[in-house]
A = this chain, B = another copy of it.
Amino acid sequence: MCRVLAYLGEPIFLEDLLYKPDVSFVNQTHQAAFYTRLNLAGSGLLAWDARSERPDLPFAYRSTQLAIYDRNLRALAAKVRATALLAHLRGVPYDTRAIIHEQNLHPFQFEGARLALAHNGQLARFDEMKFALLPKIRPELARAIRGTTDSEWFYALLLSQLPDPHADLDALDIARGVTSALRIVAGIRRELGIRTFSPMNLFLSDGNDLVAVCYAYGLGHYDGLGDDFHPPEERVLRIWYTIGKSYGLYNGEWRMLSADEDASSCLIASEPLTRDHGTWHAVPLQHLVYVKRGGERPPSVEVVPLDVE
């Protein structure tokens, strides 16, 4: 399971999210709090700045270098203030069969598309499902797949469910697309007789909206996951969010500055950025979260149940 961080809100220096909190995103490379595996297969991010000159075009960076040692990432994080972010640390099994290259780094965003996806989790027996998904993917999107991850195939499948994959989508469109894609995967699992546990935490953004999914297929079905597989604690399966006026260092603590009426910033992540996660909320399993940026209004956060199987 990889680590993901998503943000929508007031301008924030990337280093305040990626480096400074005690369970900072970059430190999750080797010391995630909820997760003992290392994330050693590289990192990627898309960071939008609504105030910049080409606001729809995010700063984009992906590298197989370890994030903890990556000077380019460090420099970018000190310079860019973002109003939206998708960031991803990739973890893969400790095995020479692991395929580590730039094309497998999240977030995925096809040329011409505005929507981007970062994923933590994995589809069991994906190698078998892969070509079965083909008929559900538009040919031009199937051809755009560059890597080998289940995540990128899922992204192509999701875009294929949208009326126009290159359009400026609102959160509801995105939510419909992802639900539809999850249903198709559920169907193929049934067809192929795959019941194995497969977590699919998904984080989607186009810089204006943010949608996150906390989903797992086959809860409780751990056959075929290997002898060294231990069913994860529920907090590991969940995704976590915090909302407020702005994220920062307040009274010696990295947290959202609380705000009753004018919450304008939201963080969603595979785990809280601080060991003290009193100000964070867990999204229940099989739920979807919307965050919209609406003109002058603050982002609203809505958590709704997902029914895909």
Residues of A within 8 A of B (CB): 27, 29-30, 38, 40-41, 52-54, 57-63, 66, 68-72, 74-76, 78-79, 81, 92, 94-96, 98-103, 127-128, 130-131, 134, 139, 142-143, 146, 148
Name 29 A/B residue pairs within 8 A (Cβ), A-sorted: A30-B38, A40-B66, A40-B69, A54-B78, A57-B78, A58-B79, A59-B75, A59-B79, A60-B72, A61-B75, A62-B71, A62-B72, A63-B72, A68-B94, A69-B92, A69-B96, A69-B98, A69-B100, A71-B102, A72-B72, A99-B146, A101-B101, A103-B148, A128-B139, A128-B143, A130-B143, A131-B134, A131-B142, A146-B148
A101 touching B98 by the CB < 8 A rule?
no
Interface centre among A58, A69, A139 (most CB of B within 10 A): A69
A137 and chain B: residue at smallest CB distance: B131
A52 and chain B: residue at smallest CB distance: B79
Q: With A and B bound together, what is the CA distance between A262 and B128 in angstroms?
A: 51
Cβ distance A109 to chain B, nearest Cβ, rounded Å: 11
A73 and chain B: residue at smallest CB distance: B96
Cβ distance A2 to chain B, nearest Cβ, rounded Å: 15
A44 and chain B: residue at smallest CB distance: B72
Could you say which residues of chain B place their CB within 8 Å of the CB of A99? 103, 146
A19 and chain B: residue at smallest CB distance: B96
Q: With A and B bound together, what is the CA distance between A95 and B66 in angstroms?
A: 10
Cβ distance A233 to chain B, nearest Cβ, rounded Å: 21
Q: For A103, give its contact among B79, B96, B101 (CB under 8 Å).
A: B101
Q: With A and B bound together, what is the CA distance between A68 and B72 in angstroms?
A: 18
